[in-house]
Amino acid sequence: MTSSESISTANLPEDYRDLKATVADFARSVVAPVSAKHDAERSFPYEVVAGMAEMGLFGLPFPEEYGGMGGDYFALCLALEELGKVDQSVAITLEAGVSLGAMPIYSFGTEEQKQEWLPRLTSGQALGAFGLTEAGGGSDAGATKTTAVLDGDEWVINGSKQFITNSGTDITELVTVAAVTGVDAAGHKQISSIIVPTSSAGFTAGPSYDKVGWNASDTHPLTFDDVRVPRTNLLGEQGRGYANFLRILDEGRIAIAALAVGVAQGCVDECVRYAKERSAFGRPIGDNQSIAFTIARMEARAYAARTAYYDAAALMLAGKPFKTQASIAKMVASEAAMDNSRDGTQVHGGYGYMNEYTVARHYRDSKILEIGEGTTEVQLMLIARSLGL
C-alpha cells in the first residue's frame, strides 16, 4: 500500500477498512497465483468465483432479506478496487454479476421476482447478465432490433445481442434482455427489459470471443429464436427498460471507476517493487530520476482517480445527484488505468512485455475500461451536457 493510498484508507470507517484488507488478502493469496494461468488458457476462474461467493462479495450491496450482506455500493467498489489490482477478469466478473446481473432485479423487480432470483445471485451460486448491446446499437437505443411480442401470457423474443459478460458460464441462470415491445405516441421504439432464464428453449450463447484482454472473463454473443417466457418476466414498467438501464449504468460507472483505480494502483505497486529490486549500471533503477518521476506521476493519477470515485459514491449514497460525477470518475479512472499500465510496462522493460507479469496483462486488459459501460466519448458528452453545452 502506497502512502497516498494509506492516507485515503485511514479516513474510512473501520468496517470498510476491514473489508478492504480482507479482499486484498484474498486477491494476493487466491487470485494472483492463478491469474496468469487462466489468462493464458482463456478459462473462467470458477474456483476464484466460488471463493468470492463464500466471502459474500456478490451480496455486498443487498439487504439480508434477499441473501445479501446488508452493505452498500461503496463496499462493492472497495472490493473491486482490491481485485482490480491483480486481475481485471475476476474484478469484472464480480462487477457485472452484481451491477448488471442482480442490481436491475433488486432495483426494478417485483417482490416475487426478487424472491425468486436474488438469493441465488447474491450468494454467488448463480450469475445473471444484461443483454443490451447489439451489432448496430448499444448506447443508441433507437438501433435496438431485438423484439418481444406478447402472445397470450407469454413474451416471444427474437433477436441477438453481443459482448454480453457472464452470459455463458456453467452457473449463468438468467439474462435480462432489452427488447422492443412496441412504439410510443411519438413513434419511438418502446424498449422494455425482460428476464430470460438461460434454460429457455431458443436461447443460445454463441462461442466465446477471441479478445485482446479480459481473457478469463466470460463474454458471448446471444441469440433468441422464438424464446418464450411468462408475461410476468417483464422487469419494471413496460417501455421503461432502457431508461431504467441508464440508471443502472450511472451506478455501474462508479464501480468501473473503482476497478480502474485498482488497476492504476496495482501498476504503481508493481513498479515501486520492481524499481527497488532491479539494478542497472550498479544501482536500483528507481534511483534514476526519470523512473522515479514516472512512478510518481502514476501515483498522482491513481490518487486523483480514487478521489473522484469516492466523491461520486458519497453523493450516490447520500441520495444526491451523481450522474455527472460518475461520468467524470469513470473517464478519469479508465484513462489512469490505461496510462499507468502503459508506463508500468515501460518501467519493467522487456519483462513488462511478458504475460507472466501483472503489468503486461493490465496493458492488454485496460483498453476496454475506456469502452465498456459507456465509452470515453459518451462520458464527455454527458459531462458537456451537464455544463449546458
Q: What is the mean pLDDT of residues 292-296?
A: 98
Per-residue pLDDT tens digits for 196-234: 999 999 999 999 999 999 999 999 999 999 999 999 999
Single-letter amino acid, residue 3: S
pLDDT bucket at 306, cuts 50 / 70 / 90: very high
Task: Please list, in sequence order, all residues whose beta carbon lies within 8 angstroms of the beta carbon of residue 318, skipping any fewer than 6 positions away.
Answer: none
Q: Is the pLDDT of residue 3 over 60?
A: no
Q: Is the pLDDT of residue 280 over 80?
A: yes
Single-letter amino acid, residue 238: Q
**Residue 188 pLDDT:** 85
Q: Is the pLDDT of residue 45 over 60?
A: yes
Q: Is the pLDDT of residue 350 over 70?
A: yes
Q: What is the mean pLDDT of residues 158-172?
A: 97
pLDDT bucket at 343, cuts 50 / 70 / 90: very high
Helix (H) or strand (E) holding 32: helix 32-41
Give the number of C-alpha atoms closer than 13 A to the C-alpha of residue 203, restricted to the C-beta side: 22
Q: d(Cα 112, Cα 70) in Å, to the nearest integer? A: 20
Q: What is the mean pLDDT of the chain?
A: 95
Task: Please name each of the domains of the chain with its CATH number.
Answer: 3-127 (1.10.540.10), 128-239 (2.40.110.10), 243-386 (1.20.140.10)
pLDDT bucket at 7, cuts 50 / 70 / 90: low
Q: Is the pLDDT of residue 81 over 60?
A: yes
Give the closest residue to 224 by CA, choosing from 215, 233, 216.
233
**Residue 10 pLDDT:** 73
Contact 345, 355 (CB under 8 A): no
Comparing 6-15, 18-27, 58-67, which segment has the lowest mean pLDDT?
6-15
pLDDT bucket at 184, cuts 50 / 70 / 90: confident
**Residue 321 pLDDT:** 95
Q: Is the pLDDT of residue 181 over 90?
A: yes
| C-alpha gyration radius of the chain | 21
Judge residue 381's burial from the number of C-beta atoms within 10 Å of its C-beta, 0-12 exposed, 13-18 middle, 19 or more buried: middle
**Residue 141 pLDDT:** 65
pLDDT bucket at 143, cuts 50 / 70 / 90: confident
Q: Is the pLDDT of residue 52 over 60?
A: yes
Say which residue the cell 417482490 belongs to: 111
Q: What is the mean pLDDT of residues 345-354?
A: 95
Using DSSP's 3-state secondary structure scheme, residue 49 falls into: helix
The set of catalytic residues is: 373
